[in-house]
Chain A
Amino acid sequence: MLIDVDRRVASFRENFEIVRTEVSRIIVGNEDNIIGIMTCLLARGHVLLEGIPGIGKTKLVQALADVLHLKFSRIQFTPDLMPGDIIGNNIVREDEQGRRSFEFARGPIFANLVLADEINRATPKTQSSLLEAMQENSVSAGGRTHPLEQPFFVLATMNPLEMEGTYSLPEAQLDRFFFKLRLEFPSAADLNAILDRTTAAEEPQVGRVLGQGQILEMRDTARSVPVARPVQEYAIALTLGTHPESDQATAMTRRYVRFGSSPRGTQALILAGKVRALLCGRLHVACEDIREVALNALRHRVLLNFDAEADRVDADAILRDLIARVPESTH
Chain B
Amino acid sequence: METSTTRLGAVLRTAEARLRVRWRLQLAGLLLGSTAACAAAGVLLHRLGSAAPTASALLTLALVLGLVGTGLALGRQWLAWEGGAQATARLLDQRAGLREELNSALWLGRQTSPSEWVEAQALRAGETAARLDLARLLPVWPTPARLSGVLGGVLLAAGMAAWPLPRGVGPPAAASPGLASLPSPLARISDRLVRELPGPVAEQLRQELAQLDQSAATPVQKQAALAAAREAIAQEQLRVAALRARLLEEAGRLDASLPLGAVATALREGDAGSAVGQLRELSAGPASAPADNPSETAAHARSALRRLSAGGLLDAAGGISDAAARLQRVAWELDQIERMNRVGVAPEQGAAAGQAGVSQAEARVGETSGSGEALQREGSRSTGGAPRDREAVAQPRASTGTQGGRAGNPVGAAPAEPALGAAATPLEVTLRREAIARGSDGQDPAPDWFYRASRQQQSQLARTGDAGLAHYAQAGDTGPEPIALRHRRLVREYFSRQP
Contact = CB atoms under 8 A, between A and B. Distances in A.
A288 B118 CA distance: 20
A113 B248 CA distance: 136
B124 interface: yes
B100 A287 contact: yes
Given A230-B103, A231-B100, A330-B90, A2 B123 contact: yes
Contacts of A229: 107, 111
Contact of A224 (B86, B111, B117): B117
Given A226-B112, A228-B100, A228-B103, A2 B86 contact: no
A110 B445 CA distance: 106
Contact of A6 (B108, B111, B120): B120
Nearest to A281: B124
A284 B119 CA distance: 11
Interface string A122-144: 00000000000000000000000
A283 B122 CA distance: 9
A331 B115 CA distance: 22
Contacts of B116: 1-2, 4-5
Contacts of B99: 282, 286-288
A226 B115 contact: yes
Contacts of B90: 330
B367 interface: no
A282 B123 CA distance: 12
Contact of B104 (A4, A231, A288, A330): A231
Given A1-B119, A284-B108, A230 B124 contact: no
A225 interface: yes
B254 interface: no
B121 interface: yes
A8 to B, nearest CB: 9
Task: With a 10 A CB-CB cut-off, give which of A227, A229, A288 has the most chain B CB atoms.
Answer: A229
B101 interface: yes
Contacts of A230: 100, 103-104, 107
Contacts of A227: 104
Interface in A180-198: none
A299 to B, nearest CB: 24
A226 B100 contact: no
Contact of A283 (B103, B107, B111, B120): B120
B226 interface: no
A288 B119 CA distance: 22
A331 B86 contact: yes
A1 B123 CA distance: 12
A331 B90 CA distance: 9
Contacts of A224: 115, 117
Contacts of B120: 1-2, 5-6, 283
Contacts of B101: 282, 284, 286
Nearest to A277: B99
Interface in B88-110: 90, 99-101, 103-105, 107-108
Interface string A198-239: 000000000000000000000000001111111100000000
Contacts of A331: 86, 107
Contacts of B108: 226, 228, 284
A226 B103 contact: no
Contacts of A226: 104, 108, 112, 115, 117-118, 121
B104 A284 contact: yes
Contacts of B111: 228-229
Interface in B67-103: 86, 90, 99-101, 103
Contacts of A284: 100-101, 104-105, 108, 121
A5 B117 contact: yes
A267 B452 CA distance: 93
Interface string B119-141: 11101100000000000000000
Contacts of A287: 99-100
A230 to B, nearest CB: 6
Contacts of B100: 228, 230-231, 284, 286-287
Contacts of A225: 117
A256 B346 CA distance: 67
Interface in A281-322: 282-288
B127 to A, nearest CB: 11
Contacts of A283: 117, 120-121, 124
Given A5-B120, A225-B117, 13 more contacts: A1-B116, A1-B119, A1-B120, A2-B120, A226-B108, A226-B117, A228-B103, A230-B107, A282-B101, A284-B108, A285-B104, A286-B99, A286-B100
Interface of A: 1-2, 4-6, 224-231, 282-288, 330-331
The 9 A-B pairs at the shortest CB distance, nearest first, are namely: A286-B99, A228-B104, A284-B104, A283-B121, A5-B120, A228-B107, A286-B100, A1-B116, A2-B120
12 contacts: A2-B116, A5-B120, A6-B120, A226-B112, A228-B103, A228-B108, A229-B107, A283-B120, A284-B121, A285-B104, A286-B99, A331-B86
